[in-house]
Structure 1
Amino acid sequence: MPAPDTANALGHFLRDRRARLDPATFGFAPGRRRTPGLRREEVAQRSNISPTWYTWLEQGRGGAPSTEVLNRLAAGLMLTEFEREHMFILALGHPPEPRYKEPEGITPRLQRVLDALPTSPAILRTATWDVVAWNRAAAAVLTDYSTLPRDGRNILRLMFSNARVRAAQEDWMRVAQFVVASFRADAARAGATAEITQLVEELSRSSPEFAALWRNNDVASHGDGLKRLHHPVLGPIELEFSTFAVEGRPDLTLMVYNPSTPETTDAVRRLVEAREAGAVSLPG
């Protein structure tokens, strides 16, 4: 026989979350209750499903619920996004289909992670490739995003509309192909296909090169690799990049560029220090 905590994992999860809710918060009379939390019929009412069907779900009867029912339960039980995903995995064996949400703000803790990398340019970007946070090394080596308007911090816009960024790439076309293919895959994975429509149309009108690459329908994983730049102050430099998911923030990706040699590390350090002291400025 399976252990009690795994025999009906979904039912146990639903009962546990139901027990954590305060009836008074939702306008239900506290009354005399044998167990803490909401009653089954109250959860069913909040989730717009039948009390019988909800009872069966807790008892592990009636088969797998539909995604619509699970989404109603997530709202009725006030589940967090992480709890909603866990419920889908318990019920259906896989996470829910992605639904894109506009990224939230960056916490001071995340910014401190970036700032702890003094000689490694690091950025946080969204699934639609908007840069939302960066460190001093990224401003010195890649782009000083603080000088750009918010909608100008999109990596696709910079690649196809900024002459300085384009000139800095050792092989611009190869990099552009890789960026477009990775961008397409990231946006689709995040369920952001509708959100990128305006950007894709804008770049297709302004850049025949982007339009041709987008028509290719290529997809790629950004993962890790090597980036070679012609920096206006440092000259030719080589950076090893790695890409990381941010736990608890599916809307964000962390990208870190490590100098490939000790000499490059020292050069980046001197550049960052010189910019901080106001001894050097970079072209926009």
Structure 2
Amino acid sequence: MTRNPRPGQLGEFLKARRAELTPGDVGLPEDLPRRRAAGLRREEVALLAAISTNYYARLEQGRIAASGPVLGALAHVLRLTEQQRTHLFELAGNEIYHRPYRRARQQVQPQLWRLLDDLTATPAFVLGRRTDILAWNPMAAALITDFGRIPEKHRSYIRLLFTDPAMRELYPDWQNVARMAVATLRVEAARTPGDRRMSALVGELSTRDEHFRQWWAARVVAGRGVGTKHLNHPVAGSLILDWDTLTSTADPEQHLVVWTAEPGSRSADGLRLLASWAAT
């Protein structure tokens, strides 16, 4: 429900609040180029809220109305108190959305579980929203990492790429792999503006890794599909694996990722070795 929105006052409130914050307040590096004005830049607020700079600029200019989820993300990024958050939603005329934007927890589709159980010699895992790893088989754990040791809230493929040093050893071409993951995440963020967990993930990785910050700001997008990756595994050695993505028709936000090797290749031998190792 929208009641008496005041876009001009909303824009002034947003500008005033970001002027009160420093990069350090939101976890961004302090050693940035000299600023002409105090506070956060528009592009920094947009980056952390997982929305475009153009969208945020038009919002401050009073040219567009913001959805409840976007307002929730901005309230989180701008570190608003409960009173300030209430005021933000009142200015936008979106009082009904004055609640955190939450989505139902994903449950792995039974068909995908059965496929994982049947793929005993093939690495496979199920990706959900924000590249959350929802399920995996023993071969995927042996190939990539023991997902079970990672707390569920941190069990995100893109988060592992940027925070686990072992992933940079696993992928000799880590930069291209990570850049493509960022481009894929960008597509999902555009579909779900204001998803607070997405905003938190983008904000965390932006503060922790300069590469992520640069690639996210570049706004390159890519979809999930098929491809080939080179891995340097500590047990199986050098592997050239093809991967494919199968999307669940019951829940299009769940994707089964399967890794295979060309029959008769050294990589196929490596996968057999890995299966024996995983079994023991």
Same fold (TM over 0.5): yes
What letter corresponds to residue 137 of structure 1 in structure 2?
M
Matched residues in 2 for 1:206 and 1:260: separation?
Answer: 37
* Identity over aligned pairs, percent: 32
Unaligned residue ranges in structure 1 (runs of 5+): 1-98, 278-284
For residue 133 of structure 2, what is the aligned residue in structure 1?
131
Aligned residue runs from structure 1 range 108-119, under 5 A? 108-119=110-121
What is the number of residues matched between the two proteins? Answer: 179
For residue 198 of structure 2, what is the aligned residue in structure 1?
196
Aligned residue runs from structure 1 range 168-183, under 5 A? 168-183=170-185
What letter corresponds to residue 268 of structure 1 in structure 2?
L
Kindly tell me: are residues 265 and 117 of structure 1, through their superposed partners in 2, closer, same or farther at Cα, counting changes over 3 Å?
Answer: farther
Unaligned residue ranges in structure 2 (runs of 5+): 1-100
Matched residues in 2 for 1:100 and 1:249: separation?
Answer: 17
RMSD across aligned positions (CA) = 2.0
What letter corresponds to residue 271 of structure 2 in structure 1?
V
What letter corresponds to residue 266 of structure 1 in structure 2?
D
Matched residues in 2 for 1:253 and 1:149: separation?
Answer: 21
For residue 271 of structure 1, what is the aligned residue in structure 2?
274
Kindly tell me: are residues 107 and 174 of structure 1, through their superposed partners in 2, closer, same or farther at Cα, counting changes over 3 Å?
Answer: closer
Larger of the two Rg values belongs to structure? 1
Question: Does the Cα contact within 8 Å between 1:101 and 1:251 map onto a contact in 2?
Answer: no
Question: Does the Cα contact within 8 Å between 1:123 and 1:135 map onto a contact in 2?
Answer: yes
Task: Quote how far apart the aligned CAs of 1:174 are.
Answer: 1.1
Q: Deviations over 1:220-275 (max 9, x none)?
A: 11211101101011111011011111011123111111123434233323322322
Higher relative contact order (CA 8 A, sep 6+): 2
Kindly tell me: are residues 243 and 192 of structure 1, through their superposed partners in 2, closer, same or farther at Cα, counting changes over 3 Å?
Answer: farther
Question: Does the Cα contact within 8 Å between 1:124 and 1:255 map onto a contact in 2?
Answer: yes
Question: Does the Cα contact within 8 Å between 2:126 and 2:134 map onto a contact in 1?
Answer: yes
Task: Quote how far apart the aligned CAs of 1:192 are.
Answer: 6.6
Matched residues in 1 for 2:125 and 2:193: separation?
Answer: 22
With normalisation by structure 2, the TM-score equals: 0.59
Question: Does the Cα contact within 8 Å between 1:230 and 1:236 map onto a contact in 2?
Answer: yes
Question: Does the Cα contact within 8 Å between 1:140 and 1:275 map onto a contact in 2?
Answer: yes
